[in-house]
Amino acid sequence: MVAVAAVAIFLLATYRAFTIGRVLIRGVYRDRALWTAGTLIALIFLTVASNLPPSNPLSPLSFVLIFVVLFAFVDSSIRVVQETDFFHRTPLRWERVRKPFYVVLIAFLAVGGSLALIEPTNSLLYLVGVLLWFGPGGTFLTYSAAALVVGARRTPDRTMKRFVRMLGFAIICMVLFFTVWIPFAPFSLTVQDLGSLISELFVPAAAYFLYLAVMSLSPVGHVEKDVVSTSKAA
């Protein structure tokens, strides 16, 4: 039920994002709408793949994909708010850390993902692989979410301010989804299932915040009115 609810919200938000992106012919709002749509599609892939049997190769691939997509989305959004800041200030020294973060993230995803794939799920190396996979990714995304919040406070653009703030909340929810279950991993299967259930509850929350982020770019009602008005004028 949790996965179904999350996918439903993701699909609705994706539809809204493409609608807004189609109407806004160019500009930063259109770019944010299309970036959001791409991220939502990656999240749908992640949600579906995570609910397939554990042996399927799509699940680890979906986790690697979503880490890279989320980080790239946040990176581009931070640079947007930096441009809209009157003094062009870099939030939390993002320009200095973004490239090292990319390199370290890809390296840890490769090593951790390889260990998680080839080692038995009850082995110590598997646990190490999981920690290498989710630990740095969660840390970097948390830092980037903090940079988003700082950037949102500095930009005078109210629409972008709300969009970035909602995106930051969505990123925090995804970090919790990636990491909350880890302390439950060394225990029994029943405890592990409980940890997985708790972590999955953050996915619909992330979906809801992404929906709010999309809707902050341009209210759908106004978009539809503009389309109707343009059609009548023609």
Domains of the chain and CATH, by start: 2-233 (1.20.1070)
pLDDT number for residue 234? 46
Question: Tens digits of per-residue pLDDT, 11-65?
Answer: 999 999 998 888 876 688 889 999 999 999 999 998 888 877 766 777 778 888 8
75-123 residue pLDDT tens: 999 989 888 888 888 888 898 888 888 888 888 888 877 776 676 666 6
Tens of pLDDT, residues 184-207: 766 667 777 787 888 888 999 999
Please determine, for residue 219, whether its predicted confidence score (pLDDT) is greater than 70: no
Nearest to 33 by CA among 46, 44, 22, 47: 22
Output the pLDDT for position 188: 66
**pLDDT for position 206:** 93
Give pLDDT, residue 55: 63
Which distant-in-sequence residues (6+ apart) come within 8 Å of 218 by Cβ?
Answer: 20, 23, 24, 29, 33
pLDDT at 119: 63
pLDDT in tens, 133-171: 778 888 888 898 899 889 888 888 888 889 999 999 999
Q: How far apart are CA 192 and CA 197, in angstroms?
A: 9
- pLDDT averaged over the chain? 82
Residue 232 pLDDT grade (very low, low, confident, very high; cuts 50, 70, 90):
very low
222 vs 116: CA distance, rounded Å: 48
Q: What is the structure's pLDDT at 210?
A: 94
| Stated pTM of the model | 0.82
Pairwise CA distance, residues 154 & 231, whole Å: 38
How many DSSP H helices and E strands does the chain contain? Answer: 9, 0
